[in-house]
Amino acid sequence: MTTTSRTELENDAIRICQELIRIPSVNYGDGKGDEKEVALYVMAQLQEVGIAAQMYESAPGRCNVVARIKGSDATRPGLVLHGHIDVVPANADDWSVDPFSGEIRDGMIWGRGAVDMKNMDAMMLATVRDWARTGYVPTRDIVLVFFADEEAGSIYGSHWMVDNHPEVFAGCTEAVSEVGGFSVTVAGGKRLYLIETAEKGIHWMKLTAHGRAGHGSVTNNENALTRLSEAVAKIGNHQWPQRYSKTVKAFFKRVAAETGKEYNEEDLTPLLSELGFAARMVGATLQNTANPTMLEAGYKANVIPGSASAVVDGRFIPGFEDELNETIRSLIGPDITIETITTDKALEFPFEGDLVEAMCNAILLEDAEGIPVPYVMSGGTDNKALAELGIIGYGFSPLKLAADFDFMALFHGVDERVPVEGLTFGVRVLKDFLEHA
């Protein structure tokens, strides 16, 4: 890559990231979202360089964009390169900048979506635009997809596309998306690059307690709010047992080796202190989790309601879904009902094969001292939906980050931002990876 073409690639990624952030494609949940404007922008960026794209509207305003870039070898299976174009809400009063400004300040691009995940969307677009300008043809088909609704269960996005338009993914066997390939600095200044090969499963549930409605001044030992509160407190305070997946063990073996610490497969928690900002997220992958996130009850100060409800965000280690559900049931008791809001599988794929090798090589090309390692993501991605079609999915949206940059805290957080140098590093790595995948 010449200096001129590299500069053009990097500048394109920066510009597109800023412009994507400036389109507030906010997903409020419960079907309240609108990705149409950002979807049209994505299509325009592709069409500007001659890449044909199609929009799939799953509901009014809920838009997905697909483009298939034909490869030179029709015998090879295709690769799905996907991102989501919705973002979570942002309260501007809490931010240092306008959350939809895309402003560059202190060497960072600021705004909602800067790390989740309009940065990766920008890298994807910049890479294929570079190919179109230079006439490069990838070896295998690249199915480029921008999904709606990832932030609220992917009902109008990847799951809808898989259920209604599986032909889009015909011939594809592997996929790459967000939250992987970012650096974490451990003891001695060593940089681990965490490639996501596994994801916890999801069970969002609504708990409803029923009781006897009545006047707030009268004793009531069948108070629905009391029953619900006790159940929610038990869930929120529950100490889940450690459950180590194959990926977690492989990750911590490498951490121990690189830091000179002891590896004790019976208790991996002491090694968390070596991980800096990533410790909190990685710690959540050592066990099932269930966090109460919403409460709803009552309508007047002096009226005891007949029912009360709460929402719990449950996440389970691969292989431990039944344990999560059985534990929740035992904690809340028989008087509370459970309604599933969203459920999705856990994923775990091997850290091996040509695709993984191409990821590792692309990182090492840009950072010879980097150490690629597999890890489990505490959240989930659209790879879950693609798995329904037998497509193996990895997280690889590369970023080289400063040791003190708390990357994981910015997902859905205040003052979300991505380092410009991290983004330009990432687009170079992504381009090299895709050209050798």
> pLDDT grade, residue 367 (50/70/90)?
very high
Return d(Cα 296, Cα 21) in angstroms, integer. Answer: 32
| Residue 43, preceding peptide bond in cis (omega within 30° of 0) | no
The residues spanned by each domain of the chain are 3-188+191-195+346-436, 201-344
- pLDDT tens figures, 188-230: 889 999 999 999 999 999 999 999 999 999 999 999 999 999 9
- pLDDT tens figures, 63-111: 999 999 999 999 999 999 999 999 999 999 999 999 999 999 999 999 9
Q: How many CA atoms lie within 13 A of 129 on its CB side?
A: 25
Q: What is the mean pLDDT of the chain?
A: 96
> pLDDT grade, residue 425 (50/70/90)?
very high
What is the model's pLDDT at position 184?
94
Average pLDDT, stretch 144-152?
A: 96
What is the model's pLDDT at position 187?
81
Minimum mean pLDDT range among 182-191, 225-234, 367-376: 182-191
Average pLDDT, stretch 229-252?
A: 96
- pLDDT tens figures, 329-361: 999 988 899 999 989 999 999 999 999 999 999
Q: Quote the percentage of the chain above a pLDDT of 70.
A: 100
DSSP β-ladder status, 172-177 and 392-395: parallel
Q: Do domains 3-188+191-195+346-436 and 201-344 have the same CATH topology?
A: no
Question: 201-344, what's its fold?
Answer: Alpha-Beta Plaits (3.30.70)
3-state secondary structure of 382: coil
Measured between alpha carbons, how far apart are the two ends of the chain, in Å?
A: 18
What is the model's pLDDT at position 153?
87
Four-way CATH pick for 3-188+191-195+346-436: 3.30.1330.30, 2.40.50.1070, 3.40.630.10, 3.30.450.40: 3.40.630.10
What is the model's pLDDT at position 2?
81
Q: Is the pTM of this model over 0.75?
A: yes
Which amino acid, one-letter code, is at 109? Answer: I
- pLDDT tens figures, 11-50: 999 999 999 999 999 999 989 999 999 999 999 999 999 9
Return d(Cα 176, Cα 434) in angstroms, integer. Answer: 10
8 Å CB contact between 421 and 124? no
**H/E segment holding residue 324:** helix 321-332
Average pLDDT, stretch 229-238?
A: 96
- pLDDT tens figures, 316-332: 999 999 999 999 999 99
User: Is the model's pLDDT at 5 over the cut of 90?
Assistant: no
